[in-house]
Amino acid sequence: MIPQSFQYESPGTLEEAIKLLHQYGEEAKILSGGHSLIPMMKLRFATPEVLVDINNIPGLSHIVEENGKMKIGGLTRESELEHSAALAKIFPIFKDVTKLIADPQVRNRGTIGGNLAHGDAANDHPAVMLALNATVIATGAEGSREIPIDEFFFGFYSTALQFGEILTEIQIPIPPTGTGSAYHKLERKVGDYATAGVAVQITIGDDGIVKAAGIGLTNVNPTPLRAVRSEQALIGKPLTEHSIAEAALYASEDCSPSADLRGSEEYKRAMVAVLVKRMIHEAANRASNN
Amino acid sequence: MNKCKTSKEIGGMGHSLKRKEDIRFIQGKGHYVDDIKLPGMLYMDIVRSPYAYAKIKKINIEEAMKVPGVVAVVTGRDLEKYNLHWMPTLMSDTQMVLPTDTVMYQAQEVAAVIATSRYAARDGREAVKVDYEKMKPVIDPYKSMDPDAPVLRTDKAGKKDNHIWHWEAGDKAKTEAVFASADVVVKEQMHIPRIHVASIETCGCVADYDKINNHLTMYMTTQAPHAIRTVIALVAGHVGLTEEKIRVISPDIGGGFGGKVPVYPGYVIAIAVSFLVGKPVKWIEDRSENLQADSFARDYHITAEMAGTKDGKILATRFKILADHGYTDASANPSKFPTGMFSIATGSYDYDTSYMECDAVYTNKPPGGVAYRCSFRVTEAVHAIERMTDRFALEIGKDPADLRMENFIKKEDFPWKSPTGWIYDSGDYHKGLLKAMDAVGYWELRKEQAEKRKKGELMGIGLSTFTEIVGAGPSKDFDILGIKMFDSAEIRVHPTGKAIARFGTKSQGQGHETTYAQIIAEELGIPAENIQVEEGDTDTAPYGLGTYASRSTPTAGAAAAMASRKLVAKARKIAAYLLEVSEEDLEWEPGKFWVKGAPEKSKTIQEIVFASYTNHPQGMEAGFEATHYYDPPNLTFPSGAYICVVDIDKETGGIHVRRFVAIDDCGNIINPMIVQGQVHGGLTQGIAPAMYEELIYDEDGNILNGTLMDYLVPTAVESPSWETGHVITPSPHHPIGAKGVGESPTVGAPPAIANAIVDALSPFGITHLDIPITPAKVWKALKDKGAI
Amino acid sequence: MLKEITVTVNGEKHTLEVEPRLLLVHMIREVLNLTGTHIGCDTSSCGACTILMDGKSIKSCTVLAVQANGKSLTTIEAVAVNGELSALQEGFKENHGLHCGFCTPGMIMRATELLANNPNPTEEEIRWGISGNLCRCTGYNNIVKAVIYAGAKMRGEELPSTEPQFV
Ligand SMILES: Cc1cc2nc3c(=O)[nH]c(=O)nc-3n(C[C@H](O)[C@H](O)[C@H](O)COP(=O)(O)OP(=O)(O)OC[C@H]3O[C@@H](n4cnc5c(N)ncnc54)[C@H](O)[C@@H]3O)c2cc1C
Ligand code: FES
Ligand code: FES
């Protein structure tokens, strides 16, 4: 398994990288962690003529809290997310999700930016970002722009990133106290893509009323999916078995999984319901300990 | 454990000697086939068919020939000129090397691209354009015998259907009579799925033909180098490559498990190309090619029935098999046994009536039927009998452990003749199961299960108490392509008392360099450390049929003991001469002869060996060497009692293997550490088909999971922490009482796991699930029964 | 087309001209002839190709040689120093942590980083920690044992028994 020949560019600055991307247009692809792109190139499913490697550009890898936001550089590796104490404190969901993404070696290379930019509904970060209401920062020739996560995922393998744009940062609002988050996916074996995955972040007020809820679904829809009706079923009332069951049911109805080796459509819908229920419980549990 | 007769320094049988071979592997100095680099070496890559069944209209190689570095593209038409386009299979069927007009399965070899580098060969492969005319394939074996099914093997003159052969064993009339009058009859339809050995090293070779000397050196990943040399000579003898001109070298092998026994087309093409261009040619398959095209294992559809009494006495069994062989019968079985040793399916139980039959058919799938860590279809047999034993227990409401205890063949009844004619050598099934039950805490677990059931929680306990049949085999019945299934050892002891021993087998990780040395140490008293073991080079090692089907210890291990005994006999003569006493006056313990009643008058084996070169008795041949070709008088019958405990998540179908206890009886143990390692590995290869692995095809014959992304080889997370132990009943007919162990766990584990899962689900009326049993399957079964 | 790169491999600096598409694993095996690093798959699944790049375990089949420019690589060949086995190598040998040995270099490289990050891992952490490495032979029990042994050795603690335990 050997990629087709290509030209390799390794710019040292963002400007240079963007210039190269414009210069080569459709022929060029950004190389980040390479753990989605290189496997596809080895199989010759992807045959770019130019690779623009962004790994040598400084300033793209960080996890910092600033102005009420958690800012994560696009080039931040999964293993950095996994071991970040800053993240673990506020967003326990990152520990959940990174443990379930591929394996330690892949996590040493794969980046959060690449995971999102790949636009694959089977990847795990998209659902998490939906649950956390993230904003994607895209940098292009005209500077940076903010893309709300709900406008980021388009169709199959496609995102709101324009050609020539680099995903440079993800910004996640720091939630108020009383917030908890959790992620789980069912997988056929460790390292596998999800049979179904569910990310939940929930904020419960002192009065016991759910103030905010974010629910994202992995690999049960052509694109990463926000379970809107499920979120609404929770917000504005106390968390009860009834509201949780409703949220679970809605998510299983609103997703659109396809049957494959991981399971039938019916099975996947049922698993979405089970996971939504379990992750709400887990997130609420964490919220109450927060 | 059997007691050690030798000291730790000598390191004979029973010592957990650390492995001699490890020192190179842990430092990256193993020498595998892809590590070989010869001057001027070319690289081969293979164009494969995207279709399961198609006519080849045209192969366009023009663009490929323009790729820098590509030197040739070889097609079936090119090989046809030399009559090298077909080859025999191990079952005396025929298989294409490269097709001239029709492809018969997806991923079949269509053309080979030869280039100066791996990368150029791959570019060339991409540039070969093939026009196909697709045809409707036969995928479902049950449909292959339909009147309107196309006849696939049109190359066979007069072939009018897709039937390959019919086989039967046992007594049909008697079985029918017992079934007709039995109180209880249970029946299940089961599929033992098509799986793959998936050794972490794929297959490959470097074919190095020397034109000037008309000599071929073939470095290849083979478990049976001698047999391969013979097969190459059979295929290529007519172009001048006769057997004395061929040397097969099998370097370190990164796992074999039966998958590296057959001759694959890639090997033959590499030889043909090297022969034609006079340069070494390397071919290493990709993982996906390996999974998609190389020999599969299993793929038996079995209708299994058991008849018994209401109080739990097994009376008879009946098995009807449909065997899906793919497009040719390339199974690795002894010639007279088209279903291998399936007739061991009567199991560990004392009853006298059984009938089994099998029909084998062709389909548009890759050929195979290798003995994947299994002595020829024993896995299928054990799954059928052990599943049915539990099924019977469930039917009559008896605990499956009690039912087994009541039906086991008794220790004192060995040697025992099975309803299909095998003579079981020895065993103590009651003791084995008791030990397993004690270790796992069986009755407490049953109590816990009852409590959990009241709460609606799903927990299952599964047993498997199997009898294996290994060590093929006695020459009167066992041969492959006519070559009898003996194996060999040659021991040469050097003047200083250190030895080299060579064998016809080939380790793929079993630790032969250590265990064979231990057998010789046990017999001769020369420290195992001072015995160098070599295998895998046909120029130096004695002829043997290789390592598979757990036959190395039963055959080559026995040969090592027998060759050693020839040496001890010679040593006795020399010792008598040196000590000036008669042979009868000498006593032997491994390493030393001494004079009866005068132990201070002694000669060590080292002194005797030295004398054999420097001061041997007149009239005796000098030197200290012996060779033995061991022809086993019977097979050996290892057994095991395995217990698996599972917890099932009712909502998701998720299965957690909580405990797994495996008690094996493999006879006397050469190296407990290595035996345990073999059991651990085999158990993981048992959980694999039980819960994860199966090669899946759609109705057009496309493989749906031909990569390691979707062919789910278990990781350390899926593998439970295995608990293992032994009971020992030595094989009475084997020189060192050993039975072989490599395969028991792979054979015994799947039914234990399947039985545990079905046990957990049985309150809902679920009586059987086909392996691999996945969460999705469990969930569906529960859903169908209205349990969720 | 060729790119010049400078890599330090096992402490030795190499300047090489490589095709951009050259996979790092092929550079190691075929350009530098360090054949201890193996290839077991084409989908980044098996971990047989695991090496350390700047101390981090990576699958060298899924990294381009050009991406290693300026980096420091360690392969299995440099794990033993002056003939002295590392604690992990010793652990694998003493605990029968290998059969065919094909997965072993990758396992050792991966476990090297695992122990560097977590000197006293639990069995569960070890199993998850080597979940990117497939072994078809050992059933993993003894690999886990080997890593526990190496951890104890590196911490200077009493070594666990290497005798096989039976029920
Ligand atoms: C064996 C294996 C198992 C895996 N299992 C999982 C899993 O369970 N869950 C999961 O989520 N993922 C899984 N992955 C995918 C892995 O997480 C990838 O690393 C990730 O999907 C892509 O990130 P990357 O940095 O490697 O991106 P790359 O492969 O470098 O790039 C992916 C795509 O995004 C584009 N891109 C990358 N970075 C940017 C950027 N900053 N701006 C704009 N475009 C960009 C690239 O051009 C390319 O098209 C697995 C991968 C492997 C090899
Ligand atoms: S060869 Fe790199 S992961 Fe398999
Ligand atoms: S020892 Fe053979 S693959 Fe691990």
CATH T-level topology, domain B22-29+487-630: Aldehyde Oxidoreductase; domain 4 (3.30.365)
pLDDT at position B549 over 70: no
Looking at the complex, report in whole angstroms how far the Cα of residue B439 sits from the nearest Cα belonging to chain C: 6
Ligand 1 center to A172 CA (angstroms): 20
b/e per residue, B700-713, with b = 16+ CB within 10 A?
A: ebbbebbbbbbbbb
ipTM confidence score: 0.98
Looking at the structure, do residues A74 and A112 belong to the same domain, yes or no?
Answer: yes
B73: enclosing H helix or E strand: strand B70-75
* CB-neighbour burial class of residue A269 (10 A; exposed 0-12, middle 13-18, buried 19+): buried
pLDDT at position B774 over 90: yes
Looking at the structure, do residues C31 and C53 belong to the same domain, yes or no?
Answer: yes
Q: Per-residue pLDDT tens for B398-455? A: 999 999 999 999 999 999 999 999 999 999 999 999 999 999 999 999 999 999 999 9
Does the bond joining B50 to the residue before it have cis omega, within 30 degrees of 0? Answer: no
Pick from B425, B429, B423: nearest CA to B411: B429
Pick from A181, A142, A178, A183: nearest CA to A163: A142
Looking at the structure, do residues C73 and C92 belong to the same domain, yes or no?
Answer: no
* CB-neighbour burial class of residue B100 (10 A; exposed 0-12, middle 13-18, buried 19+): middle
Q: If you take atom 1 of ligand 2, which residue's CA is the nearest one?
A: C39
Total domains in the fold of chain C: 2
Looking at the structure, do residues C21 and C71 belong to the same domain, yes or no?
Answer: yes
Looking at the structure, do residues C95 and C60 belong to the same domain, yes or no?
Answer: no
Pick the more confident residue, B506 or A225.
Answer: A225
Cβ(C116) to ligand 2 under 6 A? no
Q: What is the CATH number of the domain that holds A83?
A: 3.30.465.10
Ligand 1 center to C98 CA (angstroms): 32
CB contacts < 8 A (A, B): 47
Boundary of a domain, candidates A148, A173, A198 = A173
Enumerate residues 6+ apart whose C-beta is below 8 A from B666. Answer: B638, B675, B726, B738, B739, B740, B741, B744
Whether the full predicted model's pTM is greater than 0.90, yes or no, is yes
Q: Per-residue pLDDT tens for B296-314? A: 999 999 999 999 999 999 9
Alpha-carbon distance of C99 to C112, in angstroms, equals 19
Q: How many residues does chain C have?
A: 167
Residue C28 falls inside a structural domain: yes
Looking at the structure, do residues A67 and A162 belong to the same domain, yes or no?
Answer: yes
CATH 3.30.365.10 occupies which residues in chain B? Answer: 22-29+487-630, 296-472+634-784
pLDDT at position B548 over 80: no
Structure tokens at C15: 């300047």
Domain of residue C36 covers: 3-78
Q: Per-residue pLDDT tens for B199-214? A: 999 999 999 999 999 9
Q: What is the CATH number of the domain that holds C113?
A: 1.10.150.120
Q: What is the CATH number of the domain that holds C11?
A: 3.10.20.30
* Banded model confidence at residue B546, pLDDT cuts 50, 70, 90: confident
pLDDT at position B550 over 80: no
Which ligand 1 atom sits nearest the alpha carbon of residue A123? 11
Looking at the structure, do residues C19 and C46 belong to the same domain, yes or no?
Answer: yes
Domain of residue A85 covers: 63-173
Q: What is the CATH number of the domain that holds A231?
A: 3.30.390.50
Instruction: Say yes or no for a CB contact (<8 Å) between C128 and B717.
Output: yes
Which residues in chain C have Cβ-Cβ distances shorter than 8 Å to A6? 20-21
Place of tokens 């000098």: B622
Q: If you take atom 4 of ligand 3, which residue's CA is the nearest one?
A: C135
User: How far from A252 is each of A217, A220, B75, B276, CA to CA, in Å?
Assistant: 10, 9, 52, 62
Boundary of a domain, candidates C78, C108, C129 = C78
Q: What is the dotted CATH code of the domain comprising B33-135+203-284?
A: 3.90.1170.50
Averaged pLDDT score across all residues of chain B:
96
Q: Is B24 a catalytic residue?
A: no
Chains near A with 3+ CB pairs less than 8 A apart are B, C
Mean pLDDT in order along chain A per 10 residues (290 residues):
96 98 95 98 96 98 98 98 96 98 98 97 98 98 97 91 96 97 98 98 97 98 97 98 98 98 98 98 93
Looking at the structure, do residues C125 and C148 belong to the same domain, yes or no?
Answer: yes
Pick from B198, B254, B191: nearest CA to B222: B254
Looking at the structure, do residues C106 and C58 belong to the same domain, yes or no?
Answer: no
* CB-neighbour burial class of residue B230 (10 A; exposed 0-12, middle 13-18, buried 19+): buried
Looking at the structure, do residues C126 and C62 belong to the same domain, yes or no?
Answer: no
Instruction: Say yes or no for a CB contact (<8 Å) between A108 and C114.
Output: no
Using CA atoms in the order B481, B486, B492, B498, what is the torsion angle rounded to 10 degrees? 120
Looking at the structure, do residues A101 and A196 belong to the same domain, yes or no?
Answer: no
Looking at the structure, do residues A185 and A279 belong to the same domain, yes or no?
Answer: yes
Pick from B319, B429, B333, B296: nearest CA to B384: B319
Boundary of a domain, candidates C78, C103, C123 = C78
Chain centroid, CA B504 distance in Å: 16
Active-site residue, selected from the candidate residues B108, B223, B510, B606: B223
* DSSP 8-class letter at B90: T
Residue A290 falls inside a structural domain: no
Pick from B634, B663, B662: nearest CA to B731: B634
Q: What is the CATH number of the domain that holds A19?
A: 3.30.43.10
Boundary of a domain, candidates A173, A195, A216 = A173
Instruction: Say yes or no for a CB contact (<8 Å) between A192 and B692.
Output: no
B296-472+634-784 has CATH 3.40.50.720 classification: no
Boundary of a domain, candidates C36, C52, C78 = C78
Boundary of a domain, candidates A173, A204, A233 = A173
Residue C18 falls inside a structural domain: yes
Residue C167 falls inside a structural domain: no
SS (H, E, C) chain C: CCEEEEEEECCEEEEEEECCCCEHHHHHHHHCCCCCCCCCCCCCCCCCCEEEECCEEEEHHHCEHHHHCCCEEECHHHCCECCECCHHHHHHHHCCCCCCCCCHHHHHHHHHHHHHHCCCCCHHHHHHHCCCCCCCCCCCHHHHHHHHHHHHHHCCCCCCCCCCCCC
Structure tokens at A100: 């379930």
Looking at the structure, do residues C71 and C100 belong to the same domain, yes or no?
Answer: no
Total domains in the fold of chain A: 3
Instruction: Please check whether residue B610 is in contact with residue B497, taking contact to mean a CB–CB distance below 8 angstroms.
Output: yes
Looking at the structure, do residues A262 and A184 belong to the same domain, yes or no?
Answer: yes
Using CA atoms in the order C107, C108, C114, C116, what is the torsion angle rounded to 10 degrees? -170
Structure tokens at B563: 């060759």
Residue A205 falls inside a structural domain: yes
* DSSP 8-class letter at B608: H
Model pLDDT, residue A258: 97
Q: Per-residue pLDDT tens for B4-62? A: 999 999 999 999 999 999 999 999 999 999 999 999 999 999 999 999 999 999 999 99
